[in-house]
């Protein structure tokens, strides 16, 4: 807390070189940016960033990258995400979640059979129009800023992947619980809005919890309260996941000390043979690889025409 003894103590503590990931179990009521700021303050890390925005209403997994792990954020954001969410039937809100104002009502309440019959239309590669209150940019401005200024917002549908959508429970007449696995760019709020409309009613997300982002799961997560209660850096280390956690699916290329030095100096390296995946299958160029010396990632490299060329070098001293 600002002004507290702990806050003043933390301001006096030097910044430290932490490199890795924290899987934060985000509480409701905070923005993702606020969570990152809190993590950076509590850990005294030089750099921090998150691997995929969560709405303030939502709880659950928010991967926070520290130090050089921030260079792997884009790979985490490409990963599949799992959610549990509840739709409140009969009410549409301007934000498509419980934080917004009611803008439409309906007396229609879908049955379990009707919901089940509608789900296949929202599974696979589909087109989805993002919510009006979203971070999508329109003419260089965020849609939510335009909406808050009462300016007209027109967002085009875009392709997304919904790998799995399942009705878990008919909680009561007004609420149904779902599980979802989707790809990058999918909005749960938009899904709830569109599913309700397809069923001849209105609806919004009344609760939302993200249970997985790529390799980051609740089993690996720490809450902000737990993080604040850690006594020292040794306790923090137990929760700090390695930088490579953010590179799930990126093939590794073992290199020598000499090659590591070349990559750190920005030099390209010619390969005598094509690298292979863990299963022994040859990596087809062009491809992004993670060059590793011993057990430590040295750089992200671009593999093509028989060469690897560094695109992101990990500087653990900075």
Query: CA-to-CA distance for 201 and 309, rounded, in angstroms?
Result: 54
HEC readout, 256-309: CHHHHHHHHCCCCEECCCCCECCCCCECCCCEEEEEEECCEEEEEEEEECCEEE
Q: Is 274 left (phi over 0), alpha (psi -120 to 50) or beta?
A: beta
- Does an H or E element contain 216, and which? strand 216-217
Nearest residue to 25 (alpha-carbon basis) of 212, 182, 206: 212
Instruction: List the chain pLDDT tens, one digit each, 318 residues.
Output: 343 334 444 555 678 889 999 999 999 999 999 999 999 999 999 999 999 899 999 999 999 999 999 999 999 999 999 999 999 999 999 999 999 999 999 999 999 999 999 999 999 999 999 999 888 888 888 988 888 888 888 899 999 999 999 999 999 999 999 999 999 999 999 999 999 999 999 999 999 999 999 999 999 999 999 999 998 778 898 999 999 999 988 999 999 999 999 999 999 999 988 887 777 788 888 999 999 999 899 999 999 999 999 999 999 875
The pLDDT value given to residue 318 = 57
| CATH annotation of 250-313 | 2.30.130.60
Structure tokens at 241: 């996941």
Give residue limits of the domains in the chain.
Answer: 5-79+215-246, 81-205, 250-313
Strand, helix or coil for residue 178:
strand
Nearest residue to 39 (alpha-carbon basis) of 61, 13, 65: 65
The pLDDT value given to residue 99 = 92
81-205: CATH topology is Pseudouridine synthase (3.30.2350)
Active site residue 96: no
The pLDDT value given to residue 224 = 97
Q: DSSP label at 23?
A: E
Strand, helix or coil for residue 244:
helix
Quick one: CATH architecture of 5-79+215-246? 2-Layer Sandwich (3.30)
**Cα atoms found within 13 Å of the Cα of residue 229, Cβ hemisphere only:** 5
The pLDDT value given to residue 4 = 37
Are 81-205 and 250-313 in the same CATH fold? no
The pLDDT value given to residue 8 = 43
The pLDDT value given to residue 56 = 92
How many Cβ atoms from other residues are within 10 Å of residue 87's Cβ?
28
The pLDDT value given to residue 3 = 38
Query: CA-to-CA distance for 106 and 92, rounded, in angstroms?
Result: 9
Helical H segments across the chain, by residue range: 5-12, 32-43, 73-77, 112-118, 143-148, 188-198, 224-228, 233-237, 257-264
Q: Which of 25, 55, 96, 97 is catalytic?
A: 55
């Amino acid at each position: 807390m600002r002004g507290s003894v702990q806050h003043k103590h933390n301001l006096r503590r030097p910044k430290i070189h932490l490199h890795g990931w924290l899987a934060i179990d985000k509480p409701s009521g905070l923005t993702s940016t606020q969570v990152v700021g809190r993590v950076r303050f509590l850990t005294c890390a030089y750099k921090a960033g998150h691997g995929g925005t969560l709405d303030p209403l939502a709880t659950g997994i928010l991967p926070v990258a520290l130090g050089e792990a921030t260079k792997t954020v884009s790979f985490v954001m490409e990963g599949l995400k799992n959610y549990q969410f509840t739709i409140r039937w009969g009410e549409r809100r301007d934000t498509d979640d419980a934080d917004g104002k009611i803008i439409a009502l309906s007396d229609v309440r879908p049955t379990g059979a009707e919901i089940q019959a509608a789900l296949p239309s929202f599974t696979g590669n589909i087109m989805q129009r993002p919510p009006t209150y979203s971070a999508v940019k329109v003419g260089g401005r965020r849609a939510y800023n335009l909406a808050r200024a009462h300016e007209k917002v027109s967002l085009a549908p875009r392709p997304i992947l919904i790998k799995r959508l399942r009705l878990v429970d008919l909680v009561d007449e007004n609420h149904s619980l779902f599980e979802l696995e989707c790809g990058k760019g999918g909005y749960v709020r938009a899904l709830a809005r569109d599913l309700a409309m397809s069923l001849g009613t209105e609806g919004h997300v009344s609760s939302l919890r993200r249970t997985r982002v790529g390799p980051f799961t609740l089993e690996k997560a720490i809450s902000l309260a737990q993080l604040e209660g850690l006594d020292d850096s040794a306790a923090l280390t137990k929760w700090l996941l390695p930088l490579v956690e953010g590179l799930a699916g990126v093939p590794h290329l073992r290199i020598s000390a000499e090659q590591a030095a070349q990559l750190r100096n920005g030099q390209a390296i010619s390969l005598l043979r094509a690298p292979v995946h863990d299963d022994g299958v040859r990596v087809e160029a062009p491809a992004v690889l993670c060059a590793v010396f011993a057990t430590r990632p040295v750089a992200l490299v671009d593999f093509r025409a028989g060469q690897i060329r560094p695109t992101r070098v990990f500087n653990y001293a900075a």
